Structure 1
């Protein structure tokens, strides 16, 4: 995860570069963004996609500490939120009924960071570090009590 004191513009540039580089053709992603289009980035190379509704995803996002959040893309019209998750997320999230993990090779249509394109926008930007939300943290955030770190657990 990028250091919190790293200037915002630098984190933005690093996050956008990282996201484009997650595609097998980063040059095509950048060209689509320059034309103000969404760019389809396939999952499976660097991350999987966990899909939820925005109505369920926003409360879960609020329950996760900032330093534990990975990138989350939202779509206001489709009422969808997509979490970029580690490649082993499917098993951990299999029993979370509000979350559907998309298989490797499923493409996510992404706008560039800081842009609103075709009703899509980043709820939580990639920071360039490759940091993703831990699936156990996301699963717990969808539970009734939210996620409690083991050191905060009450006896």
Structure 2
């Protein structure tokens, strides 16, 4: 399998999150990040890089949706469901961007302008659960519910 085919499903899903998917693919063909507005398929929960990385490693992979990082800007963004703003309102380290905000997204298998996917879109539409994200930023991190051990 060619490298490009490995990320095709994630790229297709991400492009389809834009009103004009062809414009997203065109931006990528010029090695640019595509401006995708939030609020149609997902919202972007923003954090600083170091606390975000700590939270990322506290979460199990199956609980994580796409996570975009921009180390030069000390930022990372978690793609979360459209109803996540209220649930994350009390998490000081995370700021959910309002619907209509623009997130400049590289294709899933490339780095553009220093941005890259720490957890890539896979085409499934999986987003990060805001409850799990909020818990991962807490002092003890995310823990499996007690029922998981029964």
Q: TM-score range by the shorter chain?
A: over 0.9
Matches within 5 A, 1:111-126: 111-126=106-121
Report the Cα distance in structure 1 between the residues aligned to 2:123 and 2:26, rounded to whole angstroms: 19
Match of 1:101 in 2: 96
Runs of 4+ in 1 over 4 A off after TM superposition: 8-11
Contact 1:22 1:41 survives alignment (8 Å): yes
Matches within 5 A, 1:1-155: 12-151=7-146
Report the Cα distance in structure 1 between the residues aligned to 2:139 and 2:27, rounded to whole angstroms: 40
Contact 2:55 2:137 survives alignment (8 Å): yes
Which structure 2 segments of 5+ residues have no match? none
1:12/1:41 CA distance change after superposition, 3 Å: same
| 3-state SS in 2 of match to 1:103 | coil
Report the Cα distance in structure 2 between the residues aligned to 1:33 and 1:94, rounded to whole angstroms: 33
Report the Cα distance in structure 1 between the residues aligned to 2:110 and 2:133, rounded to whole angstroms: 25
| 3-state SS in 2 of match to 1:77 | helix
Q: How far did 1:151 drift?
A: 3.3
Contact 1:11 1:127 survives alignment (8 Å): no
Report the Cα distance in structure 2 between the residues aligned to 1:33 and 1:10, rounded to whole angstroms: 15
Report the Cα distance in structure 2 between the residues aligned to 1:153 and 1:31, rounded to whole angstroms: 45
Q: CA RMSD in A?
A: 1.6
Normalised by the length of structure 2, the TM-score is 0.93
